[in-house]
Structures are given as C-alpha cells and as structure tokens.
Amino acid sequence: MGKLLIIKTGASGESIKKVYGDHDERIIKKAGLNREKVAVLPVYKGHRPYLPDNVSSVIVTGSPSMVTDREPWSVETSDFIKEISHKNIPILGICYGHQLLADTFGGEVGYHKLGKESGKVDIKLRGAASLDPLLGSMPKSFKAYAFHEQTVTKLPANAKVLAGNGFEKNHAVAYRDNVWGVQFHPEFNENENENGESHGEMLLKRFVQIAG
C-alpha cells in the first residue's frame, strides 16, 4: 500500500489540539496508520499542492476557513483536486474538504439557512449507501460530531447523497466512483461499536483499505 496524503486546510483551535491533537494527527490515529505511511501538506500555510511519489489515497481536512472566501491556497487546492481526480486515486473530503470537493466539481457552497450544526449528531444512511464501497460498511444509523456553518447548497451533476439528517441533508456524498465527502468529522467520533472501534474509525480504516 502506498502513502496517504493529508491535504491540511487549516489548524484546530489550541484547546482542541491540546486534548485531541490537530486534524492530521487525529486522522492518522483513527485510520490506524504509522506516521511514516502518511505525507502531510499544509496548503493553508502557502505550501503548493502536489502529489508525492507512492501516494495511494488523499484526505482533505476540515478548516476554520470558508470555501466561499476563495482564498488563493483554496483555489489552488481545488485545481489540484480536479487534476488528480482523473488518476483513480481515492479521495475523501472532511467538512471543509467535503465542501471544497462539491465546489470543485460544479456544485455550490454557502451558509446553512438554519445556522450552525455543532456537537454530536445523528447520521442516517440514504439512497444506495448500502452498495457504496465506503459507506456500505457503516451501520444504517450512527452518531458523529459535526462543526459547520457552511454547507453544500447544490450538488454537482451525478453526485449521490449517501447520508444525512434532519439538519444536514448532504452529510455524505459520492462525487465520483473514487471521491467522497463527509460533512461530519469521522476523526472525532468516540462512540464505540461492538468491536471496540468508533464509527468514524471504521470509516477512515475502510477508506485506507479501499486505497490499498
């Protein structure tokens, strides 16, 4: 299996980092990977996005930034994602990353009409989720953590909704056969299943498995 490339689009607040670690650290831990199997690219600090050798999957993290601000690093990252999406490399966007994927492939992003969704929320699989390579491994209903005030207001053509709830209808979306976005944070989910894993851990490990 090749490396996981984490495209880091922002940093967590100091109080969160102190207890849980930053975005990339939480993802690495929940995905069950060794640090040497991961490359981290902090594009929000001005690092240009590129595809290192031996990368087999990509995760785009959450961020305190807003996709609609169209910061230069975000626009550059969007162009990069569009380019690598044709290489059959599995891509997963989380929160900001999910919204950036929607924007990249022709959808629309804006502030949620109901305001912020924050804390532990219910997630329910929808549509053909049971047949999806990534979401099909998840239970039909589970809890996850969400922290967002922007949302995907319009899906790109051919995108498939895989999960949602009463507040957020697009909590999980398949944008391409190898590209997914989740509005919730799987790297924060602490609810354990019968195997001692959190549901977020299940999803991230399944994503790495697909890439392998």
pLDDT digits (tens, 9 = 90+) for 150-188: 999 999 999 999 999 999 999 999 999 999 999 999 998
The angle formed by the CA atoms of residues 142, 175 and 25, to the nearest 5 degrees, is: 60
Q: Which tokens sit at 97?
A: 């990353």
Compute the mean pLDDT over every residue in the chain, rounded to the nearest whole number.
Answer: 93
Domain coverage including residue 73: 3-211
Could you say which of 23, 185, 199, 201 is catalytic? 185
- Whether 193 has a pLDDT exceeding 60, the answer reads no
The span from the CA of 183 to the CA of 168, in Å, is: 8
Task: Check residue 119 and give its pLDDT.
Answer: 87
Task: Check residue 195 and give its pLDDT.
Answer: 55
Please give the tally of structural domains in the chain.
Answer: 1
b/e map of 169-195 (b: 16 or more CB within 10 Å)?
Answer: ebbbbbbbebbbbbbbbbbbbeeeeee
Q: Which of 103, 108, 105 is nearest to 86 (CA)?
A: 105
| Active-site residue flag, 23 | no
Q: Which tokens sit at 34?
A: 């060794």
Q: Which tokens sit at 146?
A: 């969400």
99, 109 contact by CB (below 8 A):
yes
Q: With pLDDT > 90 as the criterion, what percentage of the chain qualifies?
A: 83
> Which are the contacts of 95, defined by CB distance < 8 A and separation ≥ 6?
61, 62, 63, 146, 147, 148, 182, 183, 184, 185
Could you say which of 95, 117, 168, 199 is catalytic? 95
Q: What is the pLDDT of residues 58-117, one digit of tens each?
A: 999 999 999 999 999 999 999 999 999 989 899 999 999 999 999 999 999 999 999 999
Could you say which of 148, 187, 199, 201 is catalytic? 187
| Active-site residue flag, 86 | no
Identify the CATH number of the domain in which residue 25 sits: 3.40.50.880
Backbone angles phi, psi at 63, to 5 degrees: -160, 150
b/e map of 7-19 (b: 16 or more CB within 10 Å)?
Answer: bbbbbbeeeeeee
| Active-site residue flag, 185 | yes
Tell the burial category of 143 from Cβ atoms under 10 Å away from its Cβ (0-12, 13-18, 19+): middle
